A and B are shown apart, each in its own frame.
Chain A
Amino acid sequence: MARFIARRLLLSLLTLWLLASIVFIIVNVLPNDVGRTILGPFAPQESVDAFNEKLGTNRPILVRYVDSIVGVFTLDFGDSFVNGKPVLPQLADAIGRSAKLAGLALLITIPIAIAAGLFAARRRDRPADRAIVLLGVTSSSIPEFVTGTILVVVVGVQLKLLPVLANTPRDADAITQIRYLLMPALAMAIVYFGYIARMTRAGTIEVLQSDYTRTATMKGLTTGQTLRRHVLRNALIPTVAVIAVQIGYLFGGIIAVERIFAYPGMGQTMLFSAQRKDIPMLTAGVIIVGIVYMLATLIADLIIAWMNPRIRLDAER
């Protein structure tokens, strides 16, 4: 297991380096003049040059590349173009708030989606299964901001059940916070329900058709016992993998949800940074979400290796 973890960690670091390089290419190699972009087309050339000097964007490209890669690995994302202060501390609080929202969304969606997937798999091709599959396709194809809008109009404005904006009052207790976060979390939960439910369904159907499931049934175990002892462990492997992938995407979708509900998370911060062309802030956000994605898939791989020794042994060979 130790060798497996070491190998997997090394691969993650390689991926992080490539990811940081891709982001560097987007920001630096594409033709653009940072000073000009920020100061606008009418600024005199001297102030553009002075600004580039101050930002360090006129240094040789290799120096900037090494600088930015070292920065990514030491979690130093440079200074904001707008206020000149280091980026990471400015993002930290917002990331925490986004994580809270994303966590609530996952907490809602994972149990419901897994239950729905299992339920559908056991009733394969019957009306209940068809309905869940159709619901999954529908829910996972609608963008978060659309679901959010519809929720606001129906639940917030028409029925007045939940607050329309997610800006929780200061020092609110946990229940109040959840009340405020429920609608944005639901908007995200609905999108991820579809992916997770379909994966669970597909994984379970495959395992239910396997020989060892038949053996378990034939040796007289009840359906519940077969599910608990033999089916779940293998059937949930693709589900674990897809949840990890979704955690990364969750932060992509969160930006639109935070805008609809005016929630002061990292999405809002990035959107403000986009409007002010604060590129270090944006790159930091992209790379941090990339790191979150990689950590999530890393943990998922470890869980999968623990769930299925065959995978672990294969990788060690």
Chain B
Amino acid sequence: MDIPVASGPLAPTTPVAPGAASPISERSQARRETLRVLFRRPAFIIGCLVVLGWVLTAILGERITPYDPFNDFSLGHQPPSSEHLFGTDRLGRDILSRVMVGSRDVLIVAPLAALLGVGAGTFLGLIMGFYRGIVDDILSRLVEAFLALPVILVALLTLVVLGSSPAVVVAVVGILFTPIVARTVRSAVLSERQLDYVTAARLRGESGLFILSREIFPNVLGPTVVELTVRFGYAIFTVATLSFLGVGIQPPSPDWGLAVSEEYTNMISGIWWPTLFPALAIASTVVAVNLIADSLQSVLTE
């Protein structure tokens, strides 16, 4: 890369005159530097703009949609026209209006699932990587077994057993993501714990808990933040797929995955617009989130 890359949120960037700055301001300066590098990447900016756009349309909703997305029924399956830019669905609702509010559920469920998975996974990964020994052995085997589980199929099974609700979707997807995150954080901790600052803390007589939470954790924050955005992307992927399979977000939500599920059988008769536009909306969102994740990865962890 021709762009100067900061090597981590805590890496010293510009030389500071001796005595001119406390460690705190150095840290915030490093953070500013990281942000500056990030905002120089077109991929990051485009990703942020797209996600922000969907968040805005979800929040503003009926105030900016051309029609009422829920209760404005006209003629069903009208092709795109100047009146209905994206056409109408089988009940005659305006598809543009529904696509604009279609991110509401998935943009709540997916981030929560990602947070749950990354929170639990980071916790487990820190413990596994730091304490090693029998705990690590047992948890590693469990992680291995979880990784063999096909995420979509297990989610399908669990949602059939428990019945589908947004809370269950968050829990299932979050728990299925936990081992993947734990493995990533564990390997980051393994390479940190050999470094001199950990030995120094040990020699100072710090407790294991202190070293783990105050010394190692801040230094694996970079990969953790990257993992959070990556998981957010996968969570949208997974939740959208589950909604398409009929066990995720339930009707009458205007959710994109659900919309594809309700209308995809009409594609064969040439009625493609109720399916294509929500599908493109999903594609734009997941690609945007992954562009953000990719930029964060190369700026924060290299």
- Cβ–Cβ contact B148 & A248, under 8 A: yes
CA distance A270 to B154 in the complex (A): 11
Knowing A141-B237, A252-B151 are in contact, say whether A27-B283 is a contact too (CB < 8 A): no
Whole-angstrom distance between the Cβ of A296 and the nearest chain B Cβ: 10
In this assembly, does B157 line the interface, its C-beta being within 8 Å of a C-beta of chain A? yes
In this assembly, does A282 line the interface, its C-beta being within 8 Å of a C-beta of chain B? yes
In this assembly, does B153 line the interface, its C-beta being within 8 Å of a C-beta of chain A? yes
Knowing A286-B157, A293-B148 are in contact, say whether A141-B286 is a contact too (CB < 8 A): yes
Whole-angstrom distance between the Cβ of A112 and the nearest chain B Cβ: 20
CA distance A153 to B160 in the complex (A): 31
Knowing A255-B152, A255-B153 are in contact, say whether A14-B141 is a contact too (CB < 8 A): yes
Contact among B142, B153, B158, B275 with A289 in the assembled complex (CB-CB below 8 Å): B153
Residue of A nearest to B144 (CB): A15
In this assembly, does A64 line the interface, its C-beta being within 8 Å of a C-beta of chain B? no
In this assembly, does A6 line the interface, its C-beta being within 8 Å of a C-beta of chain B? no
Contact among A133, A144, A149 with B275 in the assembled complex (CB-CB below 8 Å): A149
- Cβ–Cβ contact A145 & B247, under 8 A: no
CA distance A150 to B264 in the complex (A): 11
Knowing A18-B145, A153-B267 are in contact, say whether A32-B157 is a contact too (CB < 8 A): no
Residues of A within 8 A of B280 (CB): 150
Residue of A nearest to B268 (CB): A164
In this assembly, does A193 line the interface, its C-beta being within 8 Å of a C-beta of chain B? no
In this assembly, does B1 line the interface, its C-beta being within 8 Å of a C-beta of chain A? yes
Whole-angstrom distance between the Cβ of B172 and the nearest chain A Cβ: 9
- Cβ–Cβ contact A143 & B241, under 8 A: yes
**How extensive is the interface on chain B, given as a class?**
35 or more
In this assembly, does A221 line the interface, its C-beta being within 8 Å of a C-beta of chain B? no
Contact among A11, A125, A141, A279 with B157 in the assembled complex (CB-CB below 8 Å): A279
In this assembly, does B178 line the interface, its C-beta being within 8 Å of a C-beta of chain A? no
* Chain B, interface SS category: helix
- Cβ–Cβ contact B287 & A137, under 8 A: yes
In this assembly, does B161 line the interface, its C-beta being within 8 Å of a C-beta of chain A? yes
CA distance A270 to B141 in the complex (A): 28
CA distance A15 to B282 in the complex (A): 35
Chain A contacts with B in 16-68, Cβ cutoff 8 A: 18-19, 21-23, 26-27, 30, 32, 37
Whole-angstrom distance between the Cβ of A51 and the nearest chain B Cβ: 16
In this assembly, does B156 line the interface, its C-beta being within 8 Å of a C-beta of chain A? yes
- Cβ–Cβ contact A285 & B153, under 8 A: yes
In this assembly, does B37 line the interface, its C-beta being within 8 Å of a C-beta of chain A? no
In this assembly, does B294 line the interface, its C-beta being within 8 Å of a C-beta of chain A? yes
- Cβ–Cβ contact A149 & B153, under 8 A: no
Residues of B within 8 A of A37 (CB): 161
**Most chain-B Cβ atoms within 10 A of its Cβ — which of A27, A274, A285?**
A274
CA distance A27 to B157 in the complex (A): 8
- Cβ–Cβ contact B150 & A274, under 8 A: no
In this assembly, does B5 line the interface, its C-beta being within 8 Å of a C-beta of chain A? no
Residue of B nearest to A28 (CB): B161
Whole-angstrom distance between the Cβ of A64 and the nearest chain B Cβ: 14
In this assembly, does A260 line the interface, its C-beta being within 8 Å of a C-beta of chain B? yes
- Cβ–Cβ contact B268 & A141, under 8 A: no
- Cβ–Cβ contact B1 & A143, under 8 A: no
Contact among B43, B141, B283, B294 with A18 in the assembled complex (CB-CB below 8 Å): B141
In this assembly, does B245 line the interface, its C-beta being within 8 Å of a C-beta of chain A? yes
In this assembly, does A201 line the interface, its C-beta being within 8 Å of a C-beta of chain B? no
Q: List the 3 closest A-B pairs by CB distance, nearest first.
A: A18-B145, A252-B150, A141-B290
Q: Could you list which residues of chain B lie within 8 angstroms of chain A, going by C-beta atoms?
A: 1-2, 43, 141-142, 144-154, 156-158, 160-162, 233, 237, 240-241, 244-247, 257, 260, 264, 267-268, 270, 272, 275-276, 279-280, 282-283, 286-287, 289-291, 294
A-B contact pairs, 17 of them (CB 8 A): A19-B145, A23-B154, A30-B161, A137-B290, A142-B283, A142-B286, A143-B286, A146-B260, A149-B260, A149-B276, A165-B268, A245-B147, A249-B151, A252-B151, A253-B152, A286-B149, A290-B150
A138-B287, A145-B244 given; name 18 further pairs at CB < 8 Å: A19-B149, A21-B145, A22-B149, A27-B161, A30-B162, A125-B1, A143-B244, A143-B282, A145-B240, A146-B240, A146-B283, A147-B283, A150-B283, A249-B150, A249-B151, A259-B264, A274-B247, A297-B148
